[in-house]
Amino acid sequence: MTVTSRRRHLFLLAGLRWLVFFFWCALGLQVFFFARIAMMRYVDPGSTAFQRSELGRLSLKYPAIRWSQQWVAHPRLPVNIQRAVIASEDDIFASHTGVQWEALERAWSKNARAEAKAQAKNQTPKVVGGSTITQQLAKNLFLSGERTFFRKSQELVLTMALEQCLSKQRILEIYLNNVEWGEGVFGVESAARHYYGRSVSQLSSAEAARLSVMLPRPKYYEKFPRSPYLNDRAAIILARMPMVALP
């Protein structure tokens, strides 16, 4: 074997070892995620990756800040808030398998056009979502907010794991108790007390509809609660709520 051939052989061998190493690391990460999800059948998650990221960001601005979150078990979650959030965020949540592929494809196409248009004008693109409640939960629980192919692929894997390991009721319960509803405000109980000064069990259907419409942009609507869009969209969601199928 010549010196050149030997070097090439050692290079390929080293590359193969690194490939095997990364494979086992990736597999170990999936096992970790799946174990965490399986535990959520019985144990409420203490915090999510998104919450920890937000707390870190906010603590730099407000050193003494603590996030506001109070857990409400599924049997005590009012029907009106469940119907409102499903109507606003994921209208066929009770029947899909975790992903609405057509909605996701439409969102990707629209975002690609928006990004191309924004780049041409040196602006920030307005991104729309096509994610289901389960996908949003997968992202919030474990992942960062970056928009990459790997991150989206991992989100889909976690979405399938959530759907296989947990009931729809449990998925909705965890989502409603962890989703962001404002600056440092997480979960539906904290949101009800933050915006209306009372428990979620005391909210009217109109108030539940209004909270649900805030979800895509909670920090924005917290600053602009009288937004005409918020008012109009809340009225639409209120009208849809009686037709929503609950899991």
Q: 8-42, pLDDT tens digit by residue?
A: 666 676 677 777 766 677 777 787 888 889 999 99
With a cut of 50, say whether residue 57 has pLDDT above it. Answer: yes
Largest CA distance in the chain: 81
How long a stretch of residues is the chain?
247
Average pLDDT, the chain: 83
Of the listed ranges 144-148, 149-153, 170-174, 238-242, the one predicted with least confidence: 144-148
Q: 205-227, pLDDT tens digit by residue?
A: 999 999 999 998 999 999 998 88
Within a domain: 206? yes
Within a domain: 27? no
Within a domain: 110? no
Q: 78-111, pLDDT tens digit by residue?
A: 999 999 999 999 999 999 888 876 766 665 566 5
Range of the domain at 57: 40-96+132-243
DSSP assignment of 59-93 equals HHH-TT---B-----GGGS-HHHHHHHHHHH-TTT
Any idea what the CATH number is for the domain that residue 222 is in?
1.10.3810.10
DSSP state of 46: S
Q: For the chain, what is the domain count?
A: 1
